[in-house]
Structures are given as structure tokens and as C-alpha cells.
Amino acid sequence: MESENHKIIRGFLLPGEKEKIIDWVKSINVTQSIYNHHIKEVRKNLNGNSYMFDVSKTPETKKISEFQSSGNVINEDLPQIILDLIERISKEIQIPKDRVLFQAIDMNCGGKVNPHYDATIGGFVNYKCNISVLSENYDFYIDKDVMNINEGDLYCFEASLYKHWSDEFSFNRILLSFGFVLNYSDLGRNEDDPRIRLSKRIEKYFQ
């Protein structure tokens, strides 16, 4: 891996969690309208739904979640299983959990993730920790690196610093995507880091 901050934890989901998460995701019933051009491009081949929640409700998570959902943040309480996963991820990866946003993604066969960077704001990295809840094995691309992901795996990467995408999926897929909004120093980076400088240029398109 190009970055030591890109990690895979195999078999992260505990027995019984998969079914509970699937039941909850399938129970979400909201209507969304996407007006933001950038978000339309990211989602146009998703072939499914993405549900955004602002967990921490800080100024930073509010701005990022509003942008990445095109104003469709769901203002409902999350089930305890999701809150417990945030706690476990924070302890496993050893990252703070004071600024967290969260997406539940329900994709149908034929969907894919288009190449993109995640939004962030100055001083922070949008560090994504994703859990493959329902899926066959697949490759996930992060710049020049390829992660092979199995059902139940947790995989984390600097989503605002590296372009990432997937191939088209030949199966239905449910993914949990936790965005930990971290200070540069939490990931061993600083203002002079080439990836941070690139992120600042990209950030201008997210205004």
C-alpha cells in the first residue's frame, strides 16, 4: 500500500451482525433529490441508494455530510449496532471519534462506484472506514493500490487524499461507510505533505 494509513481488517463483523444490519438498511424509507452536479456524477452508476447521517453534528461533519448527500442528511437516531461499530473501529484503528459522519449504501446488481475524491475541509482528512456487509469478493481501487475485499471485512483509507473507485458489481451489495474527519496530525501528515496540498486544490470544487 502507498499509505500506511490504508488498512484491511479481515472478518471485522461479528456473528449475527450481518442480518441485523441488512434488516435495518432495508427498513430505511426516504425520498432524495440530488441537485449537486459533483454528487450526481459520483452516484449516477450506483444503481441503488446512499443514506447519509451526521453522527457527531459538529460544524465539520455538518458541512461535509450536507455536501456529500446534496442536502439529504437523515435526521434520525442510528441503531445501537451502528454506534457500537463506530466505537470498535475507533479502538481497532486507534483514531478519534469526535467527528464522524456515516453512510449506509444499498446497491443492486450492476452498480459501481465511480472514481472520485471525498469532500473535506481545510485542516482535516476525510478518513473512510468501510464495512462490506453483503457482497461477494471484489477489488477496490485506491489510486495505484488494489484492495481485495471479502464480505465482513473492514477497510480504511484516506478518501479525501486518494481517488478511489470500483468495477461494476455482478451482485447486490450493502456497505457501511464511516467518515472519520481527522486532523492531519492524527494520520502523521502536515500542511507541507504533497497529498494535503493536492487535497486543498481539490477542495475548491466542493464549495
For 46-61, the DSSP string reads: --EEEEEEESS--HHH
pLDDT digits (tens, 9 = 90+) for 23-80: 999 999 887 666 665 555 555 566 788 999 999 999 999 999 998 888 899 999 999 9
Comparing 51-60, 106-115, 176-185, the range with the smallest average pLDDT is 106-115
Q: What one-character DSSP code corresponds to residue 73?
A: B
Q: In this prediction, what percent of the chain has a pLDDT beyond 70? A: 90
Q: What one-character DSSP code corresponds to residue 70?
A: T
Mean of pLDDT over the chain: 90
pLDDT at 70: 82
d(CA 95, CA 62): 20
Closest CA to 127 of 98, 104, 107, 106: 98
pLDDT at 45: 61
pLDDT at 164 over 80: yes
Q: In this prediction, what percent of the chain has a pLDDT beyond 90? A: 70
- Distance (Å) of CA 139 to CA 6, 110, 150, 172: 14, 15, 9, 15
pLDDT at 111: 83
Residue 186 is placed in which grid cell? 492524527
What are the φ/ψ torsions at residue 22 (nearest 5 degrees)?
A: -60, -45
Residue 108 or residue 155, greater confidence: 155
pLDDT at 43: 53
d(CA 187, CA 130): 17
Judged by DSSP in three states, 173 sits in strand
pLDDT at 67: 87
CB atoms within 10 A of CB 142: 21
pLDDT band at 168 (very low <50, low <70, confident <90, very high): confident
What residue type is assigned to position 59 of the chain?
Answer: P
On whether the CB atoms of residues 107 and 172 are closer than 8 A, the answer is yes
Judged by DSSP in three states, 172 sits in coil
